[in-house]
C-alpha cells in the first residue's frame, strides 16, 4: 500500500466516533490502535508538561507528527515546541517545528526504544526524552543523525527536570 493511502486511512479512522477513546498511530507502516494509557503514565506526562510550560514552551500531549519519512505518523506522549511554530494550527504537525518529543514507555517497548527513536532521528527532531517507568530510567537523546537513524546522548537542557513525583509501574499480577 502506498504511504499516502496509510495517511488517508488514518485520517478516516480519526473521524469515527467509535474510536474516540483509542490512540491511533502509524508506526513503521502499520496502523496501531491502543487504549488509553495507565494513570502513572499520564501522571508523568502531566508533570513534564507543567514543568516545560513554566519555561515558556508549549507542551502538547498526543500531538500527531508528520515528516517526509514515509510510513510513520506517531502521536508523541508529549510534543514540545513554541507558539510561533504552531500559530497556523497545522495538524498533523510537521516534525521540523518540534524542539523535543517525550515518550513514556508503556507496554510496547519496541515502539518507543527502536521504531519511534529511529523516526524521530530521521525527522531530525533535536531532542528525544525517553522515560521508562518499568525500571525508573530516563534517557535524553540529542544531535539526531538521520543517516545513521540514531541520536547521541547528552545533556543540552541547562536545567533539571523534577522527577520526584514519577512512580514506577506496579508489578504485573501473575496469571
Q: Distances in Å between the alpha carbon of 142 and those of 7, 67, 130, 158?
A: 28, 18, 11, 13
Instruction: Give just the sign of the alpha carbon dihedral 81, 84, 86, 90.
Output: negative
* Nine-digit cell string for 147: 543517516
How confident is the model at residue 98, as a pLDDT?
97
The whole-angstrom separation of Cα 121 and Cα 125 is 6
Pair 68, 40: CB distance under 8 Å: no
Q: What is the DSSP letter of 174?
A: P
Task: Compute the C-alpha angle 144/63/45, nearest 5°.
Answer: 85
How confident is the model at residue 163, as a pLDDT?
83
The whole-angstrom separation of Cα 81 and Cα 97 is 7
Q: Could you tell me how far CA 39 lies from the centroid of its own chain?
A: 17
Pair 76, 131: CB distance under 8 Å: no
How confident is the model at residue 152, as a pLDDT?
62
Residue 40's SS3 state is: helix
What number of other Cβ atoms are within 10 A of residue 13's Cβ? 15
The whole-angstrom separation of Cα 66 and Cα 90 is 11
For the chain of 175 residues, list the mean pLDDT of each consecutive stretch of 10.
74 83 84 86 95 93 91 93 97 96 86 87 92 89 76 62 84 75
How confident is the model at residue 81, as a pLDDT?
97
Instruction: Give just the sign of the alpha carbon dihedral 65, 92, 25, 50.
Output: positive
Amino acid at each position: 500500500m502506498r504511504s499516502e493511502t496509510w495517511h488517508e486511512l488514518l485520517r478516516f479512522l480519526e473521524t469515527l466516533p467509535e474510536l474516540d477513546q483509542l490512540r491511533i498511530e502509524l508506526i513503521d507502516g502499520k496502523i496501531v490502535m491502543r487504549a488509553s494509557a495507565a494513570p502513572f503514565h499520564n501522571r508523568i506526562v502531566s508533570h513534564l508538561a507543567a514543568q516545560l510550560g513554566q519555561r515558556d514552551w508549549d507542551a502538547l500531549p498526543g500531538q500527531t507528527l508528520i515528516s517526509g519519512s514515509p510510513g510513520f505518523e506517531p502521536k508523541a506522549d508529549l510534543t514540545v515546541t513554541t507558539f510561533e511554530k504552531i500559530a497556523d494550527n497545522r495538524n498533523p504537525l510537521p516534525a521540523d517545528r518540534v524542539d523535543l518529543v517525550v515518550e513514556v514507555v508503556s507496554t510496547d517497548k519496541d515502539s518507543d526504544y527502536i521504531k519511534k527513536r529511529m523516526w524521530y532521528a530521521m525527522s531530525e527532531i533535536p531532542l528525544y526524552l525517553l522515560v521508562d517507568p518499568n525500571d525508573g530510567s530516563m534517557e535524553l537523546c540529542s544531535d539526531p543523525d538521520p543517516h545513521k537513524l540514531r541520536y547521541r546522548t547528552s545533556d543540552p537542557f541547562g536545567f533539571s527536570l523534577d522527577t520526584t513525583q514519577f512512580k514506577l509501574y506496579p508489578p504485573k499480577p501473575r496469571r
